[in-house]
Amino acid sequence: MFDKNTYIERRHRLQAQLDSGLILLMGNHESPMNFTDNAYRFRQDSHFLYFFGLDSPGLAGLIDIDEQTTTIFGDELTLDHIVWMGPQPTLAERARRTGVNDTTPYGELEGKLREALNKGRTVHFLPPYRAENRILLSQWMDIPINSVKSRASASLIKAVVSLVSIKSPEEVVEMEKAVNITRAMHLAAMRRARPGILEAELAGIVEGIALAANGQLAYPAILTVNGQTLHNHYHGNTLKEGQLVLGDFGAETSTHYAGDITRTFPVSKTFNTRQKEIYKIVLDTEVACIEALRPGITYKEVHLDAARTITEGLKALGLMKGDTEEAVQAGAHALFFPHGLGHMLGMDVHDMEGLGEDYVGYGDELERSSQFGLKSLRLARTLKPGFVLTVEPGIYFIPELIDRWQEERKHWEFINYEKVQQYRNFSGVRIEDNVLITEAGHQVLGKPIPKTIKEVEAERQA
């Protein structure tokens, strides 16, 4: 964790954005895999980590804005726990590390909240994404379980988004570490891939690197010869000559900051001509989008520029036709690029999206589109210095989508279906980097990871 002053300052800045009442920040609990003592690897809630830094289960923080007090709720370990898991710092010791002097048993939290609610005070809480916390909030605050999310505090969500969106220099250092571990994972995948091995073998190698760095995966690895499926977690295919491997994976550091990088490389040592042509369009798009990043531009503009570059490239190959601007406005490019250009990145791989995607990516500034493709743009708003985001354009040939659109004669004026059908077994290409918005423009995080055709082929031959 960072120095306690980081957390004290963050809590002060949070309180300053809310008028009155209590702020409840729930930590996570152990989550059993199949019986209580066999839990999934513990992952603390990222917002609890942001404001308190304490990385152990069964904690909650309560900030009383009017009384100017902060309390950590949690339980001391019993001797039975210590026999099971070894000696641990006391709750008071842990609380002091984050600059909090008041600790109270977890069981007393409900009484505190009820007392406040009975006095007509507001208890601000964030929307829970885990069932355990949703149940607790429902019980403590007499809210029907299905209404807990909608009763979360919009003003607290907005305050958290405004703070967490701007990464401090000490956070950027952690994010660079995450990307550099992620880089090692990608280099290993590129070097160790060969015809005849299972995707699972590569997936095991990359996960091992994240674990060996005292971290873990930031999200389940996408490592597949079927890159046309956007979130493909199946690792049972055998690599064959002529295929592409799409690897979208990242490390989470021991401080829980995430890397999220995608590279696509050939199973054979070199790309074939068709692969090179598609790869080059995606590469040119990614590079141009990164170049465009600066404070003041909306990410929606950058996304639409990506759509234009992809459309131009596909027109040059005879896969699309017609006026580029009209095709993009109509959403025809989304047959090949059906997702958004990127998202915020931080302690969560899709940073803060548990609070509601639109709070994070649109705010009060923009309305989300309902058009296929554009509706999946998670980050659209104006970029500010301190944002860290992903840039991840792609081109995919999704046979089921191609067939459906062709049957419906959808965007017939912009898509050359006869030619597209010749690519139906191509799979997909995505290229992704992680970028910090700076006062002067932008900075790509981490050491360079092979990306040009020449660099990727050189890595495959290393």
For ligand GLY, the binding residues (CB under 6 A) are 219, 248, 260, 349
- Which residue lies nearer to ligand GLY by CB, 246 or 319? 246
Find how far residue 89's CA is from the centre of its chain.
32
Report the run of H or E that residue 403 belongs to, with start and end.
helix 399-407
- Which residue lies nearer to ligand GLY by CB, 260 or 305? 260
Other C-beta atoms closer than 10 Å to the C-beta of 243 total 22
- Which residue lies nearer to ligand GLY by CB, 305 or 348? 348
What is the nearest approach in angstroms of ligand GLY to the Cβ of residue 359? 18
* Spatial contact of 264 and 247, defined as CB atoms under 8 Å apart: yes
Q: How far apart are CA 32 and CA 130, in angstroms?
A: 12
- Which residue lies nearer to ligand GLY by CB, 258 or 283? 258
- Which residue lies nearer to ligand GLY by CB, 25 or 377? 377
What is the nearest approach in angstroms of ligand GLY to the Cβ of residue 344? 11
Location of structure tokens 């191509």: 426
60 in helix, strand or coil? strand
What is the nearest approach in angstroms of ligand GLY to the Cβ of residue 221? 9
Cβ neighbours for 224, distance < 8 A, ≥ 6 positions apart: 199, 232, 234, 235, 237, 245, 246
Alpha helix positions (H), 147-264: 154-164, 169-192, 199-212
What is the nearest approach in angstroms of ligand GLY to the Cβ of residue 204? 19
What is the nearest approach in angstroms of ligand GLY to the Cβ of residue 432? 7
What is the nearest approach in angstroms of ligand GLY to the Cβ of residue 382? 21
Closest CA to 303 of 224, 211, 212, 371: 371
What is the nearest approach in angstroms of ligand GLY to the Cβ of residue 185? 13
- Which residue lies nearer to ligand GLY by CB, 24 or 289? 289
What is the nearest approach in angstroms of ligand GLY to the Cβ of residue 351? 11
* Spatial contact of 322 and 414, defined as CB atoms under 8 Å apart: yes
Q: What are phi and psi of 87, to 5 degrees?
A: -65, 145
- Which residue lies nearer to ligand GLY by CB, 260 or 459? 260
- Which residue lies nearer to ligand GLY by CB, 70 or 253? 253
What is the nearest approach in angstroms of ligand GLY to the Cβ of residue 353? 10
Report the run of H or E that residue 22 belongs to, with start and end.
strand 22-26
- Which residue lies nearer to ligand GLY by CB, 50 or 249? 249
- Which residue lies nearer to ligand GLY by CB, 260 or 357? 260
Q: How many CA atoms lie within 13 A of 141 on its CB side?
A: 25
Find how far residue 272's CA is from the centre of its chain.
32
What is the nearest approach in angstroms of ligand GLY to the Cβ of residue 261? 8
204 in helix, strand or coil? helix
Location of structure tokens 């917002």: 47
Q: How far apart are CA 310 and CA 306, in angstroms?
A: 6
- Which residue lies nearer to ligand GLY by CB, 55 or 260? 260
Location of structure tokens 């099971």: 84
Report the run of H or E that residue 36 belongs to, with start and end.
none
Query: Which tokens go with 283?
Result: 């590469």
| DSSP per position, 74-89 | --PPPHHHHHHH----
For residue 306, which amino acid is it?
A: A
Query: Which tokens go with 273?
Result: 């001509």
What is the nearest approach in angstroms of ligand GLY to the Cβ of residue 398? 17
